[in-house]
Amino acid sequence: MISRIDKDHSRFREIVRGKIRQNLRKYISRGDMMSRKGQDTVTIPMPQIDIPRFTLGGNQKQGVGQGEGEPGDPVGGGDPQQGQGAGKAGEGEGDKNLEVEVTLDELAAILGEELGLPRIEPRGTQSLDTKKDRYVSLRRTGPESLRSFKATFKRALRRQVASGTFVKDLPIIVPIREDRRYRSWRTDPRPQSNAVIIYMMDVSGSMGDEQKEIVRIESFWIDTWLRSQYQGLESRYIIHDATARVVDREVFFRTRESGGTMISSAYRVCSELIEKEFPPENWNIYAFHFSDGDNWSVDDTATCINLLRDTLLPACNQFGYGQVESPYGSGQFIKDIRAAFPSQPKLVTSEVTGKDDIMDSIREFLKGGR
């Protein structure tokens, strides 16, 4: 039976989740969550879950205390209402500045509900063999813990009958070394769908700190959301200015660089990566590219479009391009690729003007549920 308090408790958790949902935009755009992963908990301050009453505000914190000291001396301990010494239940209800802990996965799930995202279906028959051990056969050697009593007994019985040492009236079976059989396993391949997300970020000089922050937060949430959808999700991170390189997660979320912008460099690295490590027949591939849309030259943009058309789009489940508005960038790139692929469902583009748009942009990217 579920106890009453558990019901009340889960009711409380529901309310907390509701509150989180209401203020999701605010929490999503908080940068400090990016240091967390999966089961890590995130502490969210939640001031307004109290029941309002007519209470005295008091213009000043004040009270009566006990102990040594002269007027003017600081009173240790800080909050006058907290705690009751050791032992007794906290009777003094301090400021109910509730801090709620939720795991990042939970937060991602709330994000999913709030955005109304469909669950991403593992598509196609792409499969990768993973291994699973099953005990199916016997062998002559092995650890005693795996000894099969039944098989061993049978072998011994058969040997004794064959050699004539079996006495019908006194059926004592004594297995010898050769009779022993041990259970043995076979490793079966098991099909499992796999997914990889490739994030590309423009870190060129025209991307200011704020733009980079937006990109990082957005890719962080996409990452978190997709991780909650797929077991064993792979991620790859590429940063580029005029040249591109694959970096690890830490670097991706922290790097500050500057330089010119050659978007094709990133696309090239990306397609090499796919070719080498993630053959499309085995992998669901999601690629996201974020930039301020300020490419170096028209020629380079043409190269990009070619790369997209010939290798990236055919290989990917979805290719997302997010363009962050920047005071320096021309923002031309998004127009160019929209013009080049007017009706390509695999290509999703989105423009982000500020932190508040992050949610909408994530919705753009993920609503297709590919």
**Interface residue list for other proteins (CB under 8 A):** 3-5, 7-15, 49, 51-92, 98
CB of 54 to other proteins, least distance (A): 5
CB of 5 to other proteins, least distance (A): 4
Amino acid symbol at 185 = W
- Residue closer to other proteins by CB (options 8, 277) is 8
- The DSSP 8-state label assigned to residue 23 in this structure reads T
CB of 148 to other proteins, least distance (A): 44
- Residue closer to other proteins by CB (options 101, 310) is 101
Distance, CA of 104 to CA of 292 (rounded, Å):
28
CB of 119 to other proteins, least distance (A): 27
- Residue closer to other proteins by CB (options 51, 339) is 51
Find how far residue 271's CA is from the centre of its chain.
23
Distance, CA of 94 to CA of 125 (rounded, Å):
58
CB of 97 to other proteins, least distance (A): 12
CB of 75 to other proteins, least distance (A): 4
Place of tokens 């020629």: 299
Place of tokens 């705690």: 83
For residue 184, the SS3 value is strand
- Residue closer to other proteins by CB (options 90, 369) is 90
CB of 41 to other proteins, least distance (A): 12
Amino acid symbol at 276 = K
Joined tokens for residue 265 = 């460099």
Residue 157 CB neighbour total at 10 angstroms: 15
- Residue closer to other proteins by CB (options 53, 256) is 53
Strand partners, 192: 128
Helix spans in 182-242 (H): 209-229
- Residue closer to other proteins by CB (options 3, 163) is 3
- Residue closer to other proteins by CB (options 77, 369) is 77
- Residue closer to other proteins by CB (options 83, 354) is 83
Distance, CA of 88 to CA of 208 (rounded, Å):
53
In 3D, which of 246, 278, 309 has the Cα closest to residue 126? 278
- Residue closer to other proteins by CB (options 96, 139) is 96
Joined tokens for residue 297 = 């030259």
191-205: b (≥16 Cβ within 10 Å) or e? eebbbbbbbbbbbbe
Joined tokens for residue 309 = 């058309």
Distance, CA of 243 to CA of 204 (rounded, Å):
10
CB of 103 to other proteins, least distance (A): 15
CB of 82 to other proteins, least distance (A): 7
**Helix H or strand E segment including 199:** strand 195-202
